[in-house]
Amino acid sequence: MTYRSIVLVKQVPDTRHVTGEVMTADGTMNRSALPAIFNPEDLHALEMALQVKEQYGGTVTVLTMGPLQATETLRQALYRGADQVILVSDRKFAGADTQATSYTLKCAIDRLGAFDLVFCGRQAIDGDTAQVGPQVAEKLGVPQITYAESILSLADGEIVVQRAFERGTEIVQCTLPCLLTVTASANQPRPPSVRQRIACKEAAAPGEYPALLQKYPAYASAEALDADLARRGLKIPVWGAADLTVDESLLGLGGSPTQVHKINFVVLETTESKEIPPTPQGIHGLIEELVREYVIG
C-alpha cells in the first residue's frame, strides 16, 4: 500500500531574530526586516511525510499559500525530496485570517484530487494560532489528529498515532484519509540533499523567470526557459482563485471574520519574591509547588 501525502507549509518571518528595529511603533511587525524561513514545525511535518513515503512508497505534494517569494519554501521542500510543489497565490487571497486561509487551502487540496494523509506543522511561529490545520480538516470533512508525535502503524486504511502533551502521551487510531498536525518532538528534519539542491536549483514559478533569465543567460527566451523547466519537472505551478473552485466571498480579507482591534504590550513584572532555603525540605517544597502549578510534572 502506498500513500498520497499532502504537506501544508508556510513561509514565516524568523521571529527568533526579532530586534527593536523589527517592531513598529503601533506594535505590529515589519516583516521585511526579518528573514523569511520555512516554518520550523512544518519541516517536521514534511519529514514525517517523507518517512511515510520512504517506508511505504507513494508521493509527497507540498502546498503553500503566500506571495511569489514563498517559492523559496517550496524549493526547500524539493531539496528534501518532495515530489511535487504548488504555490497557491492570488491577490484575492491576501489578508486572510485562519478561516479564509484554511478555506483556500481546502479548495487547493480539492483540486489535487484523492489523498490519504495531510500533514501540517502544529503551528506557525508568526501567528501561533495552531488553527489552520484543524480548520482544513473540518472543511475537508476528514478526521484530525493534532500534536502528532509519531506514527505507530499505518495499514489497512487505518493509522495509529502517538500524540504528545505537556504531561504525557495519548495513542489514537483513526481511518484514512485524515489530517495530522505534527510537533517539533516528532523527528529530526533531514537537511537538504545536495544532489536535489543541485538538480532543482532552477525550480521556479513563471513570475520568477525574469530573474532566472538574468542569472542563466544561456536560455534564449522565457519560452525556452519555461519549456526546459517544464520538461525537467522544475516549473512550480501557481494556482490562483481562477484555478480553483471557490466562493470568492470566502477568500482573503473579505472572507476573514478576524479583526485586529488593538495590540497591547504586555510587560511581565516581578511582583513578589520568595526565598527557598537550600535544604532538601526547601527544594522538595519548591518541586511540589511547581508540580501543583503545572510548571513541571
Partner 1 sequence: MAENFFLDNPDLQFRLQHLDLSEIVEIKEQGYRNHAQHPAAPRSYADAMENYRLVLEVLGEICAQVVAPRAAEADEQGAQFHDGQVEHAAATQDALRALRQAGLTGAMLPWQYGGLNLPETIYQMMMELVARAEPGLMTIIGLQETSSAINEFADEDTKARLLPRFARGELTGAMVLTEPDAGSDLGSVQTKAVLDEASGQWHLSGVKRFITNGCADVHLVLARSEEGSADARGLSMFVVERDETVRIRRIENKMGIHASPTCEVQYTNTPAILVGKRRYGLMRYAMALMNGARLAVGAQAVGIAEAAYREAATYASQRVQFKQPIAALPAVGRILLGMRGEIEAARALLAETGYWVDSLKAYEQRLAESEMPDPSLRQRQKQAANLAETLTPLSKFYATEMGNRVCYQAMQIHGGVGYMREFNVERHFRDVRVTNIYEGTSQLQIVAATGKLLGHALDERLAAWAAADYGPELAPLRQSLAEANALFLQATDVLKPQPRPVIDFYAVDLVQMAASLVCAWLLLQDARLDERKRLLARAYLAEYLPHIHSAGQALLAADAAALELLA
Q: Which residues contact partner 1 (rule: CB under 8 A)?
A: 14, 35, 37, 188, 190-199, 201, 218, 232
The CB-of-269 to partner 1 minimum distance in angstroms stands at 28
Cβ at position 48, least distance to partner 1 in Å: 15
Q: How many whole angstroms separate alpha carbon 41 and alpha carbon 189?
A: 9
3-state class (DSSP) for residue 231: helix
Burial class (CB in 10 A: 0-12, 13-18, 19+), 135: buried
Is the Cβ of residue 232 or residue 284 nearer to partner 1 in the bound state?
A: 232
- At closest approach, how far in Å is the CB of 217 from partner 1? 9
DSSP codes of every residue in 119-169? EEES--TTT----HHHHHHHHHT--EEEEEEEEEEEETTEEEEEEEETTEE
* Residue number with CB closer to partner 1 (148 or 234): 234
Q: Which is nearer to partner 1, 50 or 120 (CB)?
A: 50
Q: Rounded to the nearest whole angstrom, what is the least distance from the CB of residue 14 to partner 1 in the complex?
A: 7
Of 35 and 297, the one with the shorter C-beta distance to partner 1 is 35
Q: Smallest distance, Å, CB 69 to partner 1?
A: 15
Look-up of cell digits 500534536: 147
| Least Cβ distance, residue 17 to partner 1 (angstroms) | 8
The CA–CA distances, whole Å, from 266 to 14, 17, 131, 263, 269 equal 21, 19, 23, 9, 9
Residue 186's closest CA among 122, 282, 107? 122
Closest CB to partner 1 among 83 and 243? 83
Q: Is 93 within 8 Å of 255 (Cβ atoms)?
A: no
Residue 153 or 185: which CB sits closer to partner 1?
185
